[in-house]
Structure 1
């Protein structure tokens, strides 16, 4: 007579076991953290408090001269205060709109990715936790856009048109999908952390949104890094070579699509072509900013074995080469 023992909740059939023990523990830790430490934008942000009101001519909307690429440029700094405030409000509303559009793509991709996982795979639980958190982020970003009151479209038109198809990468080319995840998450996270580290005064609605987003985004970026570090080394030599070429291209293309404002910005505020070219990414300062955004990703590429003589040339051609971070979220200004 034989007896059957019940399978544990995290059982994965041996033939389908693809998760290394360290990665498995990371998934447990991230899922547990998502349960113990999570946020609701309508519980954790007091939107209707008097100090959160968006009022006319509030100088706290002026773009930072040390953090924001537009705010650093002499053209912007020479504008009258009321114009700087108007541009600052439009800029922050558009960044929030881009954020929610990107999160929407990510949510759809995560759910399609989770749908293909076998029973018992720990990635299902974590990616679903992450999708739930990203849904809250879209609510938060749209609430900020609504309260600022600027009519913005967010992403550049070509990316908005492609957005229904991008989640398909999570099903057919998941590694490329997670490259795209980092191409969007790393620049936004980098910029928001720089804002929070800066000494300039921000509108409290902006700082509340950034603080909540950065806190949860740390888990999302950690998952993407750990996932790629676990899955890429086992791929064949030819596949890894192609991925090493694709990685910097995906980073550069999607970063510009997300960070650079659409043409409406230039038309609405009469921004000269020469100024736009300097801000994105013609000047030495803007080039240094662009390179600094991807220090963590260059570190990841080294860890995954995706840095080789050819791929280094592609990183350089994309304008995003440089020293790899020594640790996650290392501020760019500490680089030697």
Structure 2
């Protein structure tokens, strides 16, 4: 047996151990959002749907001119927008994992954990959709070109790039949720939603990070190149998604003017940098942060 095959065999067996551990964790600590959240308790009129310190307009002249009621409405629309984006990305992850399972070993622990993760994501999508309805807002739909990209991506996400995409779609939201969920100004149901999501996403993030690091010693130069550069535009995309002009219009503001104010807002940039910091450090350690991807994330406001 060659050294490379020995490494790959060790990689596979180690992956199976991690997968089984995560399956056991899922058995011990999983949630059913339909019954674990108090959907019958309506929103409180004096609570925010996102803490003011993470709302994209906080600190701008526009924000200072808004009444408390208007600020809460902006937070409601921003929550609905973020949850809508979350649904899109979890849908993308599930479709990509499901396609991979067509050729995977159906008896392996890693396959079983992938199915477990997909079940978690399905419940999260239900939770997000119900939370949008509960909040009194409406979901935000993808534009035609966004739908086209989302349909094509499962065919492109392979090897390390799959796990890079999973982390980009999960870890930035997770980092921000961790600093928000105990905020006293937050709606109690939203805080509970974040607690559920953070607890279950921790397993998903661990599985994705492990997948990347186990491939590091054996991945080809081409795989490294694709994975390191494939997320270069994600920063700009996420900034645009987080500052969707439609959500400001629904809150009664000039959508384009508000989006411009948010994108040039130093306070919002600080929020973005905090949300990306842990993932940026991981990509550096994994050798998957190229000059191009650094430029893209910096252009989007996620790197200082």
TM-score range, shorter chain: 0.7 to 0.9
1:298 is the counterpart of 2:280 = yes
TM-score in terms of structure 2 length: 0.85
In structure 2, relative to structure 1, the CA distance for the partners of 1:59 and 1:77 (3 Å cut) is farther
Structure 1 unaligned blocks of 5 or more:
1-13, 323-336
Counterpart among 84, 96, 104 of residue 109 in structure 1: 96
2:164: which partner in 1? 179
Quick one: distance in 2 between partners of 1:215 and 1:225? 16
Instruction: Name the SS of the counterpart of 2:101 in structure 1.
Output: helix
Quick one: distance in 2 between partners of 1:161 and 1:177? 18
Structure 2 unaligned blocks of 5 or more:
1-5
Which aligned pairs between 1:201-280 and structure 2 lie closer than 5 A? 201-247=185-231, 249-261=232-244, 263-268=245-250, 269-271=252-254, 273-280=256-263
Contact 2:56 2:268 in 1 (8 A): yes
Contact 2:23 2:116 in 1 (8 A): yes
1:27 is the counterpart of 2:22 = no
Quick one: distance in 2 between partners of 1:264 and 1:310? 30
Quick one: distance in 2 between partners of 1:308 and 1:81? 43
Contact 1:180 1:250 in 2 (8 A): no
Counterpart among 170, 173, 187 of residue 188 in structure 1: 173
Contact 1:184 1:258 in 2 (8 A): no
1:330: which partner in 2? none
2:3: which partner in 1? none
RCO higher in 1 or 2 (8 Å CA, sep ≥ 6)?
Answer: 2
Instruction: Name the SS of the counterpart of 1:202 in structure 2.
Output: coil
| Displacement after TM superposition at 1:126 (Å) | 0.8
1:53 is the counterpart of 2:15 = no
In structure 2, relative to structure 1, the CA distance for the partners of 1:266 and 1:46 (3 Å cut) is closer
| Displacement after TM superposition at 1:78 (Å) | 2.2
Normalized per residue, the structure richer in helix is 2
In structure 2, relative to structure 1, the CA distance for the partners of 1:156 and 1:253 (3 Å cut) is farther
Quick one: distance in 1 between partners of 2:108 and 2:124? 26
Counterpart among 287, 299, 302 of residue 269 in structure 2: 287
Paired residues, what number? 299
Runs of 4+ in 1 over 6 A off after TM superposition: none
Quick one: distance in 2 between partners of 1:203 and 1:25? 39
| Displacement after TM superposition at 1:234 (Å) | 1.2
1:91: which partner in 2? 78
In structure 2, relative to structure 1, the CA distance for the partners of 1:39 and 1:279 (3 Å cut) is same
In structure 2, relative to structure 1, the CA distance for the partners of 1:148 and 1:107 (3 Å cut) is same
Which aligned pairs between 1:315-326 and structure 2 lie closer than 5 A? 316-317=298-299, 319-321=301-303
| Displacement after TM superposition at 1:62 (Å) | 6.2
Quick one: distance in 2 between partners of 1:218 and 1:83? 34
> Cα deviations across residues 163-184 of structure 1 (Å, max 9, x unaligned)?
22222234xx243232222222
Higher Cα radius of gyration: 1
Contact 2:104 2:111 in 1 (8 A): yes
Instruction: Name the SS of the counterpart of 1:60 in structure 2.
Output: coil
TM-score in terms of structure 1 length: 0.78
| Displacement after TM superposition at 1:301 (Å) | 1.7
> Cα deviations across residues 121-172 of structure 1 (Å, max 9, x unaligned)?
33201110000011111111111111222223254553234322222234xx
1:142: which partner in 2? 129
Contact 1:102 1:184 in 2 (8 A): yes
**Which range is displaced more, 147-156 or 23-32?**
147-156
